[in-house]
Amino acid sequence: MVKTMVRRYAVLIFLATILLVVLFMSGFAAASSDATSVPAAAASSGVPWWVWPLVLFVVTFLMGIVAVLGGVGGGVLFVPIIGGFFPFHLDFVRGAGLLVALAGALAAGPGLLKKGMADLRLSMPVAVIASSCAIVGAMVGLALPTNIVQTALGATILGIVGIMLMAKKSEYPDVKQADALSTALRINGIYYEASSGHEVNWQIHRTPQGLATFIIVGFMAGMFGLGAGWANVPVLNLMMGAPLKVSVATSKFLLSITDTSAAWIYVNNGAVLPMMVVPSIIGIMLGSIVGVKILTRTKPAAVRYIVIVMLLFAGSRAFLKGLGIWN
Amino acid sequence: MEKKVRATEEQLAYAKILDVGMKTGLLMLLVSFVVYLSGILSPHVPVRDLPKYWSMPVKKYLAATHIHTGWSWLGMIGKGDFLNFIGIAFLAGVTIICNLRIIPIFLKKKDIVYTIFAVLEVLVLTLAASGMLKAGGH
pLDDT digits (tens, 9 = 90+) for B19-28: 999 999 999 9
pLDDT of the residue at B14: 97
Residue type, B121: E
pLDDT of the residue at B119: 98
User: What number is the ipTM of this complex?
Assistant: 0.94
Mutate to test the interface with A, among B121, B122, B127, B132 (most CBs of A within 10 A): B121
In a domain, B134, yes or no: no
Contact of A67 with A108, CB cutoff 8 Å: no
pLDDT over 70 (residue A301): yes
Is B8 touching A (CB cutoff 8 A)? yes
Confidence of residue B2 (pLDDT cuts 50, 70, 90): very low
Cα(A230)–Cα(A227) distance, rounded to whole angstroms?
8
CA-nearest of B117, B128, B126 to A134 is B128
pLDDT (mean) for B69-83 = 95
CA B120 to chain centre: 18
pLDDT (mean) for B50-67 = 96
pLDDT of the residue at B5: 53
**Can you say whether the dihedral through the CA atoms of A296, A302, A305, A307 is positive or negative?**
negative
- Taking CA atoms, what residue in A is nearest to B8? A116
In a domain, B137, yes or no: no
User: ∠ CA(A323), CA(A324), CA(A327), 5° rounding?
Assistant: 130
pTM, entire model: 0.89
In a domain, B23, yes or no: yes
Is A121 touching B (CB cutoff 8 A)? yes
Query: Which residues of chain A lie closer than 8 angstroms to B100, CB-CB?
Result: none
- Taking CA atoms, what residue in B is nearest to A43? B51
In a domain, B4, yes or no: no
Query: Which residues of chain A lie closer than 8 angstroms to B38, CB-CB?
Result: 23, 26
Q: Among A6-15, A182-191, A314-323, whose mean pLDDT is lowest?
A: A6-15
Which residue range(s) make up the domain with B106?
9-129
Residue B3's CB is within 10 A of a number of other CB atoms, namely: 10
Cα(B8)–Cα(B20) distance, rounded to whole angstroms?
19
- Compute the nearest-CA separation of A298 from chain B (Å): 31
pLDDT over 50 (residue B49): yes
Exposed/middle/buried for residue A29 (C-beta within 10 Å: 0-12, 13-18, 19+): exposed
Is pLDDT larger for residue A21 or for residue A253? A253
pLDDT of the residue at A37: 37
Domains: count for chain B: 1
pLDDT (mean) for A239-267 = 94
Query: Which residues of chain A lie closer than 8 angstroms to B5, CB-CB?
Result: 116, 190-192, 199
In a domain, B57, yes or no: yes
- Compute the nearest-CA separation of A326 from chain B (Å): 17
